[in-house]
């Protein structure tokens, strides 16, 4: 199997908790959390055109997400941050 070399452009990194929870609620997998700075976590996703469209829609407030799904995604993110 040939392993593709990943570049910085292959990732989307955000510190915006509400956006991260929305992306998870829309089934974009969170691949890692950079906890180098314990006061400001960085959440890492694989970058794609679909992800970029979702992010744009988020900032334009033109998407919908189930409140329950968003709540559980936010709870999951907080759990990963605090290790609960």
Q: For the whole model, what pTM was predicted?
A: 0.84
pLDDT digits (tens, 9 = 90+) for 56-70: 999 999 988 899 999
Q: What pLDDT, on the 0 to 100 scale, is given for residue 57?
A: 94
Q: What pLDDT, on the 0 to 100 scale, is given for residue 3?
A: 46
Rounded to an integer, what distance in angstroms lies between the CA atom of residue 61 and that of residue 4?
35
Strands (DSSP E) contained in the chain are: 11-14, 30-34, 42-46
Contact 30, 42 (CB under 8 A): no
Q: What pLDDT, on the 0 to 100 scale, is given for residue 6?
A: 52
CA dihedral 58, 63, 80, 10 (to 10 degrees): -60
Residues of the chain with pLDDT under 70: 1-6, 84
Q: What pLDDT, on the 0 to 100 scale, is given for residue 49?
A: 96
Q: What is the mean pLDDT of the chain?
A: 89
Q: What pLDDT, on the 0 to 100 scale, is given for residue 63?
A: 82
């Amino acid at each position: 199997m040939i392993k593709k070399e990943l570049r910085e452009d292959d990732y989307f990194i955000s510190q915006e908790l509400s956006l991260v929870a929305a992306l998870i609620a829309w089934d974009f997998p969170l691949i890692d959390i950079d906890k180098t700075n314990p006061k400001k976590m960085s959440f890492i996703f694989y970058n794609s055109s679909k992800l970029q469209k979702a992010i744009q829609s988020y900032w334009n407030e033109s998407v919908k997400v189930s409140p329950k799904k968003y709540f559980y995604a936010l709870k999951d993110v907080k759990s990963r941050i605090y290790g609960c």
